[in-house]
Amino acid sequence: MSPIYLAQDPTLADFGRDPWWLVLGKIVFAFAFGLLATLLGVWFERRVVGYMQVRPGPNQVGPFGLLQTLADGLKMAFKEDILPKAADKVVYFFAPTISVICAVTALSVVPFGPMVSIFGHHTPLQVTDVPVAVLLLLACSSMGVYGIVLGGWASGSTYPLLGGLRSSAQMISYEVAMGLSIVAVFMTAGTMSTSGIVAAQGDGTQLTIFGQTVPAPGWYAILLLPSFIIFFIATVGETNRAPFDLPEAESELVAGFMTEYSSLKFALFMLSEYVAMVTMSAVTTTLFLGGWRAPWPITIWEGANSGWWPMLWFFGKVIALVFVFVWLRGTLPRLRYDQFMRLGWKVLLPINLVWILVLSGLRSIEDWDTRGKVIAVGIPAGILLVATIFWPSRKPKPKPTTQEQVDNRPHGSFPLPPMDLQVPPSPRITRVVAEREPANIVAGSDSREV
């Protein structure tokens, strides 16, 4: 382990020693980071999607349209706040706040940087840390579903209730895959502390490959590639982002669980989605992308992981992951609900269980370097996982012609109009005309000619 890591990595013993004003400043910073990242995230998404769709996006309100999100927020604040007559007023009011609070609370255990000096106090750039910090992250993400479910139920309407139920099934399904992905991180890092996991990804271990000693990659996104892929897919499903934005489902549920919400309450639901996206990007950075540690070319500089510079690397990784969220939204269509649930339960969950068993077996082999065997198995397994998910399952069948569709109709199915678009004569009109002029009616004549 290099001396710079020993000097800069915080431990659990470094927390709980700060004065009250410094703790309050950290809390305000984490909260401000979540809100400002959300405001800029909305603008960033509209600009990126606009670029992908060959249109400018917001560019009138402020420089480069940066104040467009603020203008939208003010507009929502002055909208009429409508309360449905059948709504449960207390639950209806608190449901949006539950989603926002759970998303922001997760930032309290995310390390933004190493040990720094603030007004003479040597303190880590993190609000707090506990031995089970990652379990706190899982608890916050799990509690976020209550805001959506309660919001749909308390609205007193059918479509919001359906949207809330779909959301609960979706988030519970992908919470299982997400939790199993973090198990691999626990096993490799040997700790559940977020600061400890970041420290474990930069310990400077050397790896021997074909007799050559090279620096071992420390990021768990490389060492535990299958877990990283499954975790990020589960994160997209957990945050209700496209192509997994089924709780909203405008084409099916009239905007889903927030149908009956308006004004600031609707803004809170939208805010919670973007805060959750930024928070989960920060969590993914912490667990799999080395946290605040600099990427490889920058690590040549000895001071890259000291002082305030690590915050820059951390924010850069978060922005890159937010871009991937936006990229997915502008690229992939929404999945059907059965496809979405099949992916979670029949693909991600079994693969995750098998990968954890393989990882446990590799760690039980004492005469083989742990990091080397994980790399030797994890990278091919991750590539195989990507190929399994995105490889087409079968060759699409050619579309049958209209005549083949007519010939293949089961007996007794719904009637089909004539293919020549000629309307057959009406039996009633034919009978009436035949009674009036029996001599002029020819059998099988067209009613329009008569």
pTM: 0.79
**pLDDT number for residue 448:** 46
| Count of residues making up the chain | 450
Element at 121 (helix H, strand E): strand 121-124
**Please, where are the H alpha helices in 259-397?**
263-288, 309-331, 337-342, 349-363, 370-390
What is the C-alpha to C-alpha distance for residues 98 and 142, in angstroms, rounded to an integer? 11
Beta-carbon neighbour count of residue 286 at 10 Å? 28
What does residue 207 show for φ and ψ, rounded to 5 degrees?
Answer: -120, 135
**pLDDT number for residue 210:** 46
Q: Give per-10-residue mean pLDDT for the chain (450 aa).
A: 50 87 93 89 92 90 90 88 87 89 90 89 90 90 86 87 82 87 88 90 56 60 88 89 76 72 87 89 93 84 85 94 93 84 88 87 65 62 68 66 71 58 66 65 47
Q: For residue 17, which of 123, 111, 113 has the smallest C-alpha distance? A: 123
What is the C-alpha to C-alpha distance for residues 138 and 169, in angstroms, rounded to an integer? 17
The distance in angstroms from the start CA to the end CA of the chain is 99
**What b/e string do you get for 128-158 counting C-beta neighbours within 10 Å, with b at 16 or more?**
bbeeebbebbbebbbbbbbbbbbbbbbbbbe
What is the C-alpha to C-alpha distance for residues 337 and 239, in angstroms, rounded to an integer? 16
pLDDT tens profile 304-313: 888 889 999 9
Q: For residue 347, which of 176, 161, 91 has the smallest C-alpha distance? A: 176
Give the whole-number percent of the chain exceeding pLDDT 90: 21
**pLDDT number for residue 5:** 40
**pLDDT number for residue 204:** 53
